[in-house]
Amino acid sequence: MSPTHRFSILQMVAFVAIGLALSGCAVADRLSNIGAAPALSSIENPTAQAGYSPVSLPMPTPERITYQPNSLWRSGARAFFRDQRASRIGDILTVKIDITDSASVDNETTRTRASSEEAGLDNFLGYEGSLGSILPDAVIPGSLVGFDSASSSVGSGTVDRKETIALTIAAIVTQILPNGNMVIEGRQEVRVNFEVRELLVSGVVRPEDITAANTIAHSQIAEARISYGGRGQLTDVQQARYGQQVYDILMPF
């Protein structure tokens, strides 16, 4: 046996041994928990976890809160009969998405066209008889040019679409426009097992459209961008493989 072949066998044995060791640990752990309830994770400081990154978001300019003598009012306070609706950069409001759309379109088009053109030169200063010396024999001056064309096309199309989405998401005010309108953006991610569901919403809202409960409907968001999708194992299975997608794009038939 050659040294190269022996080395390949040793590599294969090592990979198999590592796989069995890892699976053995998982199996042993599962066997040890038979009949016991799943253990809950302990409460730990999230800032001390590996991979922790502090959040950086748009924030309003800090206001100094001062107290007036013999007064319950605090200058700069956000409570005590003050409107609690979102109005500044960094404020949060709730967006209610309730989309129920349906569209049904059925089109059919039929077109047929036929045309015929003829042109001749019966008399041309007496030289019409001399055309045979220039053009092929058996020239008929009255039928020098003739065109015939015909075309026909048939098309049909059908659209039947129904969409129903009912979601709620919190968004943050990221910008105040010169006319007082606010730019909002919200992102929500939910992971279940190995699938992540993502909900994104952004757009421009008017302060007067925000309800007393600090909510706004998606239909009142201008330039609304709403995205609801996912990523993970289920999404990967539902999509064609990259090679198949490339094949579908490049093949002309």
Residue 201, pLDDT score: 93
Q: CA-to-CA distance for 124 and 133, rounded, in angstroms?
A: 15
User: How many residues make up the chain in this entry?
Assistant: 253
Q: CA-to-CA distance for 73 and 84, rounded, in angstroms?
A: 16
Give the model confidence (pLDDT) of 139-164 as tens digits. 666 666 676 778 787 888 887 888 78
The phi, psi pair for 175, rounded to 5°, reads -160, 145
Residue 182, pLDDT score: 93
Q: CA-to-CA distance for 52 and 45, rounded, in angstroms?
A: 10
Total Cβ atoms within 10 A of residue 173: 22
CA neighbor of 179 nearest in space, from 201, 202, 204? 204
Low-confidence stretches of the chain (pLDDT beneath 70): 1-27, 30-31, 37-38, 40-41, 63, 65-82, 119-145, 147, 253
Whole-model pTM: value is 0.56
Residue 60, pLDDT score: 77
Residue 127, pLDDT score: 61
Residue 135, pLDDT score: 60
Please, is 87 exposed, middle or buried when counting C-beta atoms within 10 Å of its C-beta (0-12, 13-18, 19+)?
A: middle
The upper half-sphere exposure of residue 86, i.e. CA atoms within 13 Å in the direction of its Cβ, equals 29
Q: CA-to-CA distance for 223 and 36, rounded, in angstroms?
A: 52
Residue 243, pLDDT score: 81
What six digits make up the tokens of 141?
Answer: 């001056």
Give the model confidence (pLDDT) of 48-72 as tens digits. 888 878 878 787 777 676 666 666 6
